[in-house]
Structure 1
């Protein structure tokens, strides 16, 4: 065990020595980087992965930390960015920027104060060639160290990010809510322009996130009603880039709960109902969530609960008045009163009987008239035929 520990200590010491020696040498146009896996000389705090848009810029939030005794904050400090490579001797990273002014391939600018260990850097006018892995390095007199344990992956894309619309998940009528449309802002110097179909004069704000990145947002406070249920909120983000703009849009459909509306009752069959026949009452209402229904009958002493459910069927015996109540978690609403009107069947039979009597009298009178007419016609005397007169055996008529 002691042999293994001694061997490990020796290997670690050798790796650190190699690391210090290699960090002193620069290849033409490139820097060979190697990190020991134990106690790296320089650490930086920055997002591991960042995305940018072609034709725009990218601001990299960056702070560094070192406890090396050779680091002298009072002396001039230079920041170096290296691009590409894997942390192996056989795969060097190329230096693309040195704050001393000796190298600046991509027109980078360290906007942070290096003496305060702020290495925030601005990458302008990005192209797809910027997509790669980057490493940061600090140089201070004899102290030189690379943060090879904290690589930064930058990805440059051609299409913009869709904005996000944030609002509470449980929406109810009469509730006052703040709707926020926010867009990722890799380049705070040229933030996206946000527009939506809510109030157009919403103030745009670009805010710094906890990790040092930025977000642009607009907000609007609205008071919800049942008319907002199913309403589509659309927000678009227009990113300025070299040669124009790139736009993306997001849509969110509101789901708003509300108390019953437009509650009404109907009856089938409509009109007068015969006593003893079946009647069907139906209740309808617009509500979210869907309501439950309760039927009430109006009595002299007040209303009586007679049924639960959207439809109430019963055998009618007398004239009665009913109404329904629609209820959900947000409230209730009562329908107008509906009347079950029973028709007077005895009166109807009497009317039918009178009609039959009248028809009988009319038929009787008609029969008498027809009989009288026939009787008179049949009793009328008939003329006897005249006998012919003959003269010289020739029949002579009166006309002759």
Structure 2
């Protein structure tokens, strides 16, 4: 064979390969380079994640307006793994005719209704790759090369998400939702949390065709929920066991003042003209402002604003504080500022000393009188006994 014949044979073989690949990926006469509308368009998420040992459901629909497409004829779906390269053999892993099924795939959608939803079972990390969908229908053969699907298979599960309104207030009724991504609706994750354990689980279909599993609980908030940690765990069933991930959210609840109280320093009676400090405390969120009032016969008088009220006590009185924020207010109990009378105290001490002196004097007199009487008491003479008829009779003097 001459060099010319060898060259012609090589060119002919390459031309046949190119024509075969063109017939595989393009419609006859379709010119993608000129920017015309692709012969096949599929709708599916651009990126999907899956969990090793579980399954993955790929939501998929397709559209075509090409005149050679005929829904009355048999329609085959084909999945191709890897990049599209016209100079290499395509990585066909599935053909709905049954001729190829390397990954045990199953097109669960009705291809005649342009539904190409597909189930990937028992995934492993080697499934991670880019995938293309192809439709074969008589003379119509087209691959959606403009709509690749990236599948990523991971070993660790996704942490669930806890959704609750951000602006939380006491007495408010809210719905708390724990959601978990569900790539395999046939085996949804089991959700548990530290709220009411009989929360019903349900799986919802998202707008893009994927699924989410949820549990919900309605709670009426109080100040005790502020700082409360809600924990939710998602347990995914996989081949050989389960894989679990957990999420925790801390609630931030606003509430009106609670446990408002007032104190005085120094405590007890206060000397006139000395400094007195009144202090107010309260538990509230957001932090409260404090106002001090003095009770008078003409009504309660606002005497100070602030947590501490210091003043020179010239006279006594009754005081209380009020804590308030946007959600409410609360009053403390009343504190009595009692001024002691120093002159009266001295007079009282003198009176006490006088009384004590009188008591001591009287006591001494009584003791002396008793001693004197005891010592000067006259002695009695002894009685003479007499005898009458041998009987002793006492002679009374």
For Structure 1 versus Structure 2, the TM-score category normalised by the shorter chain is 0.7 to 0.9
Note closer, same or farther for the CA distance 1:262–1:272 as it changes in structure 2 (3 Å cut).
same
Whole-angstrom distance in 2 between the partners of 1:124 and 1:275: 89
Q: How does 1:1-400 map to 2 (within 5 A)?
A: 22-25=21-24, 36=33, 38=35, 39-85=37-83, 87-353=84-350
Query: For the Cα contact (< 8 Å) 2:24–2:141, is it kept in 1?
Result: no
1:318 Cα deviation (Å)? 1.4
1:231 Cα deviation (Å)? 0.4
Query: For the Cα contact (< 8 Å) 2:21–2:86, is it kept in 1?
Result: no
Residue deviations 1:15-39 (CA, integer Å, cap 9, x gap): xxx998634359xxxxxxx964722
Query: For the Cα contact (< 8 Å) 2:18–2:86, is it kept in 1?
Result: no
Residue deviations 1:354-399 (CA, integer Å, cap 9, x gap): 67889999xxxxxxxxxxxxxxxxxxxxxxxxxxxxxxxxxxxxxx
Query: For the Cα contact (< 8 Å) 2:22–2:86, is it kept in 1?
Result: no
Whole-angstrom distance in 2 between the partners of 1:255 and 1:92: 59
Query: For the Cα contact (< 8 Å) 2:80–2:93, is it kept in 1?
Result: yes
Query: For the Cα contact (< 8 Å) 2:265–2:278, is it kept in 1?
Result: yes
Whole-angstrom distance in 2 between the partners of 1:136 and 1:142: 17
Whole-angstrom distance in 2 between the partners of 1:19 and 1:343: 112
Cα RMSD of the aligned pairs, angstroms, is 2.2
1:228 Cα deviation (Å)? 0.3
1:54 Cα deviation (Å)? 0.2
Helix, strand or coil at the partner of 1:24: helix
Note closer, same or farther for the CA distance 1:51–1:91 as it changes in structure 2 (3 Å cut).
farther
Residue deviations 1:243-294 (CA, integer Å, cap 9, x gap): 0000000000000000000000000000000011110000000000000000
Query: For the Cα contact (< 8 Å) 2:18–2:87, is it kept in 1?
Result: no
Aligned length: 337
Helix, strand or coil at the partner of 2:65: coil
Whole-angstrom distance in 1 between the partners of 2:260 and 2:24: 84
Note closer, same or farther for the CA distance 1:102–1:340 as it changes in structure 2 (3 Å cut).
same
Note closer, same or farther for the CA distance 1:167–1:273 as it changes in structure 2 (3 Å cut).
same
Note closer, same or farther for the CA distance 1:20–1:345 as it changes in structure 2 (3 Å cut).
farther
1:146 Cα deviation (Å)? 0.2
1:346 Cα deviation (Å)? 1.0
Helix, strand or coil at the partner of 1:245: strand
Please report the TM-score for the alignment, with normalisation by the length of structure 1.
0.81
Which consecutive unaligned segments of at least 5 residues does structure 1 have?
1-17, 27-33, 362-400
Residue deviations 1:24-57 (CA, integer Å, cap 9, x gap): 359xxxxxxx964722211100000000000000
Whole-angstrom distance in 1 between the partners of 2:20 and 2:33: 12
Whole-angstrom distance in 1 between the partners of 2:282 and 2:171: 19
Whole-angstrom distance in 2 between the partners of 1:343 and 1:170: 52
Whole-angstrom distance in 2 between the partners of 1:45 and 1:197: 39
Whole-angstrom distance in 2 between the partners of 1:22 and 1:105: 21
